Amino acid sequence: MPTLLDQVTDQLVTTAKIMGVSEDYIRILSKPARTVIVNMPVRMDDGTLRMFKGYKVLHQNSMGPGRGGLRMDPNSTIQCIQALSMINSWSSALSGIPMGGSHGAIIADRYLLSDSERERLIRRYISSIINIIGPERDIISPDLGTGQRTMAWVFDTYSMGVGRTTPSVCTGKPIETGGIVGNEQAIGWGIADVLREVVRRDPEKDLRDDSVVIQGIGHVGKNFARTINQFGAKIIAISDSKTGVYNPNGLDINDVIHFKETHGSLVGYERADAITNEEMLTLPCYALVPCARESQIRGLNVDKLQCELIIEGAHSPVTYKADRILEERGDITVIPDIVANSGGAIIGYFEWVQDISQLRWTASRVSKELERVILNAFDEIYRMKEKNAISYRRAALMVAISKVLKAKTLRGLYP
């Protein structure tokens, strides 16, 4: 089975060839500029010493410093992190953010570690890569298995290491340590803005009449659900890692979220029918929004889909094979992750600017600027799609690749 790296590389190569990009630049864009592997000794609570592995990948920094998430996940591979760094390059470029793409991972199961063990592991990781990160080198943000508290440790460890307070080394921090308002909600807000814009451009659609299925009730899916519920959409199913809940007449989404936050899982929720994640993906609906993990819609289940629209809330939830099938069929529109879930990248950039300027942004400014940037990006790929009669994904990649390529050609090769 092709890896995520194989898939995003194939998408790059295919699109770049359509654009007429030279083989030399295809070779440059298809490889990460830097891949670092670190092995980290950490003292556990019981006094034993364990070794952990970590990765830090920079895809490119032609438009500015690298930017990307840090995940703590026992199943991440170096190829997966290289793929995510490339995706982050396209996402930054598409949104007009003057940053490159990077990503990082610590290979560990956070659920098997105490808070103190997790803190020591995060601090060891940052100490191990301190010479290749920084506000003007590579900026870290939260991803799977990390969050605001993690970013506070990143900020503190880096600051102690370089001898000066440097909140702009990472984004997604708590407000008290230089974070920005709306950070937790940004990706969900952005996906909702994109869905509303897709509906606005279709005279036959009305968001208040459309049913939505959401895979994932983490901070992305939860905030998307809350926002789209306020817009009037009917959410008929949502899931966590253990189960899903389904009501064809619509869920009381605030009640579902409250149950999840109270009990830690949707297991046992009695005001809707239980449903598996696989079953939920194939429900009849207008919009299917996978907000969990990569590779959820695959060759094995793509023929069972009954939605009209897929919006990629997670990184690469639709595999390359499934995407090609959908593109050939033409009956399901796919809005790619590099625009749909770019709200996290955009607000991370806002936080970076805020920390460097030391001027606080208000909630209204964050919300307005986020909507402006993400809808400008959507409009750009929409015009590219219409002009060339291609898919949204192809259009998005063409726009992103052309921006990165222009920056690379203007800067040239050194030495």
pLDDT tens for residues 267-309? 999 899 999 989 999 999 999 999 988 888 988 899 999 999 9
Residue-number span of the structural domain to which 19 is assigned: 4-166
Whether 265 has a pLDDT exceeding 80, the answer reads yes
Domain end residue (candidates: 340, 367, 402): 340
Q: What is the pLDDT of residue 299?
A: 86
* Residue 371 pLDDT exceeds 90: yes
Q: How many domains does the chain have?
A: 2
Residues 194 and 162 in one domain: no
Do 229 and 322 belong together in one domain? yes
Q: pLDDT tens-digit profile of 323-366?
A: 989 988 888 999 999 999 899 899 999 999 999 999 999 989 99
**Same domain, residue pair 58 and 102:** yes
Which pLDDT score is estimated for 192?
93
Q: What was the pLDDT predicted at 49? A: 97
Between CA 114 and CA 355 the distance in angstroms is 30
85 and 223 in a single domain? The answer is no
Q: Give yes or no: residues 190 and 142 share one domain.
A: no
Domain CATH number, residue 32: 3.40.50.10860
* Residues 160 and 191 placed together within one structural domain of the fold: no
Q: Looking at residue 190, which CATH number applies to its domain?
A: 3.40.50.720
Residue 348 lies in a domain: no
What's residue 288's pLDDT?
A: 96
pTM assigned to the model: 0.90
Residue 128 and residue 14 share a domain: yes
Report the C-alpha gap between 272 and 252 in whole angstroms: 9
Residue 55 domain flag = yes
Within a domain: residue 394?
A: no
Is the domain of 35 the same as that of 75?
yes
For the stretch 217-264, pLDDT in tens is 988 899 999 999 988 899 999 999 889 999 999 999 999 999 999 999
Residue 398 lies in a domain: no
Confidence at residue 238, expressed as pLDDT on a 0 to 100 scale:
96
Lowest mean pLDDT among 253-267, 315-329, 387-401: 315-329
Residues of the chain with pLDDT > 90, as a percent, come to: 84
Among residues of the chain, what percentage have pLDDT more than 70? 100
Q: Are residues 150 and 236 in the same domain?
A: no
Whether residue 391 lies inside any domain: the answer is no
Same domain, 259 and 195: yes
Tokens read off for 415? 């030495």
DSSP state of 134: B
End position of a domain, from candidates 340, 363, 380: 340
Mean pLDDT of the chain: 94
Say whether both 329 and 298 belong to one domain.
yes
- pLDDT per residue as tens digits for the range 156-214: 999 999 999 999 999 999 999 999 998 888 889 999 999 999 999 888 888 887 899 99
Judge if 79 and 214 occupy the same domain.
Answer: no
Give 345's Cβ-side CA count (13 Å radius). Answer: 36
